[in-house]
């Protein structure tokens, strides 16, 4: 059996990750060893220090190889739109009413994507941002600053939205942000070049998992109710299924990135990692595994089989 080491950081990702692991073992004679690497520095260095073979995460950190680092290959984009609901006080009915105020922003994650969302609202240069650490308010609880009146709005992960709504706040509708989102994947270019058959089997496993998650809900929930449930720490089945449905809704079965999703991810990378400026972001991507499987009818065949 072939073997590949897949690293992740956040347990919120585990429903997708363990679906990949299960499909790999069932159908493609591939053992996916799942590794959690929590520290940001350790996680970002993992493929370069041989702590793993593949990472699964948002990918802005890697648009340019830093000094002493080997070239990387991005090869899979299961989500190309990002949804983080805009939470405001109940009397707010339009983005214009937020002008002159401050947005509460998490101190972890991708800071510039907040500015991209503010730009989408037509509020760029018309509002300020205040960084609010999770340690002060609770994980994804920056909405407490909106409730108190200190801030006019914040963006919240849908997984953590119910508490804000229960507190009396509301969501102001807005479009999703095109972006290479969670479950984007990469490896060292040298690893991909030396392991083409392994990479093909792995990408097959990813696509098979996406199809199971989207098209075979009961089968997918059987996987999620095992190790992912323990790692996420949700006891209530209804709440677990709410998380599952949110995670699954934006997965695309043909995991190509879009030009706009790459462009926004690259803009965020340039702001947060200035050395990236001037790099062609398309040079990082190698989609030949996805395209070969797509052209051969592999993906459409899975969809017909599972639909």
Q: Are 201 and 297 members of one domain? A: yes
Distance CA 127, CA 226 (A): 44
Q: Is the pLDDT of residue 67 over 60?
A: no
- Structural domains of the chain, count: 2
CA 260 to chain centroid, in Å, comes to 16
Average pLDDT in the 51-77 region? 81
Pick left, alpha or beta for residue 146 (phi over 0 → left; psi -120 to 50 → alpha; otherwise beta).
alpha
Average pLDDT in the 28-43 region? 93
The confidence score (pLDDT) of residue 263 equals: 93
The confidence score (pLDDT) of residue 5 equals: 98
The confidence score (pLDDT) of residue 167 equals: 98
Q: Are 217 and 154 members of one domain? A: no
Q: Are 192 and 100 members of one domain? A: no
Q: Are 301 and 201 members of one domain? A: yes
Q: Are 243 and 274 members of one domain? A: yes
Average pLDDT in the 51-71 region? 78
Domain carrying residue 55: 2-79+180-306
Q: Are 156 and 208 members of one domain? A: no
The confidence score (pLDDT) of residue 40 equals: 80
The confidence score (pLDDT) of residue 274 equals: 81
Average pLDDT value for the chain: 93
- Let me know if residue 175 belongs to a domain: no
Q: Give percent above pLDDT 70 in the chain.
A: 97
Average pLDDT in the 46-74 region? 82
pLDDT tens digits for 89-112? 999 999 999 999 999 999 877 778
Confidence of residue 184 (pLDDT cuts 50, 70, 90): very high
- Let me know if residue 151 belongs to a domain: yes
- Let me know if residue 19 belongs to a domain: yes
Question: Among candidates 77, 53, 47, 63, which has minimal Cα distance to 277?
Answer: 63
Q: Is the pLDDT of residue 218 over 90?
A: yes
The confidence score (pLDDT) of residue 222 equals: 98
Distance CA 90, CA 82 (A): 24
Distance CA 64, CA 280 (A): 9
Q: Is the pLDDT of residue 35 over 70?
A: yes
The confidence score (pLDDT) of residue 120 equals: 96
Q: Are 139 and 261 members of one domain? A: no
Q: Are 11 and 153 members of one domain? A: no
Q: Is the pLDDT of residue 188 over 60?
A: yes
Q: Is the pLDDT of residue 65 over 60?
A: no
Distance CA 295, CA 299 (A): 9
Which helix (H) or strand (E) covers residue 103, if one does? strand 102-105
CATH code for position 117? 3.40.190.10
Six-digit token pair at 178?
Answer: 């095109």
- Let me know if residue 174 belongs to a domain: no
Distance CA 140, CA 147 (A): 14
């Amino acid at each position: 059996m072939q073997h590949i080491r897949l690293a992740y950081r956040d347990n919120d990702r585990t429903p997708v990750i363990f679906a990949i692991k299960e499909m790999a073992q069932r159908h493609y004679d591939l053992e996916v060893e799942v590794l959690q690497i929590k520290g940001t520095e350790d996680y970002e260095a993992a493929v370069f220090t041989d702590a793993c073979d593949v990472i699964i995460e948002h990918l802005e950190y890697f648009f340019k190889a830093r000094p002493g680092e080997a070239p990387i290959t991005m090869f899979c984009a299961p989500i190309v739109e990002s949804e983080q609901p805009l939470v405001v006080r109940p009397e707010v009915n339009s983005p214009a009413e937020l002008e002159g105020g401050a947005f509460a922003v998490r101190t972890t994650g991708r800071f510039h994507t907040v500015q991209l969302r503010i730009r989408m609202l037509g509020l760029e240069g018309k509002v300020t941002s205040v960084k609010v650490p999770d340690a002060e308010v609770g994980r994804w609880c920056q909405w407490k600053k909106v409730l108190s009146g200190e801030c006019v709005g914040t963006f919240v992960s849908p997984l953590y939205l119910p508490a804000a709504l229960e507190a009396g706040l509301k969501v102001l509708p807005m479009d999703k942000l095109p972006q290479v989102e969670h479950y984007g994947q990469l490896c060292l270019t040298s690893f991909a070049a030396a392991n083409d058959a392994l990479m093909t089997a792995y990408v097959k496993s990813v696509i098979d998992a996406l199809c199971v998650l989207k098209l075979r809900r009961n089968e997918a929930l059987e996987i999620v109710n095992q190790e992912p449930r323990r790692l996420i720490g949700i006891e209530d089945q209804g709440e677990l299924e709410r998380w599952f449905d949110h995670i699954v809704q934006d997965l695309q079965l043909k995991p190509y990135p879009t030009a706009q999703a790459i462009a926004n991810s690259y803009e965020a990378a340039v702001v947060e990692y200035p050395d990236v400026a001037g790099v062609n972001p398309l040079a990082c991507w190698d989609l030949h595994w996805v395209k070969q499987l797509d052209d051969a009818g592999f993906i459409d065949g899975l969809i017909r089989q599972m639909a």
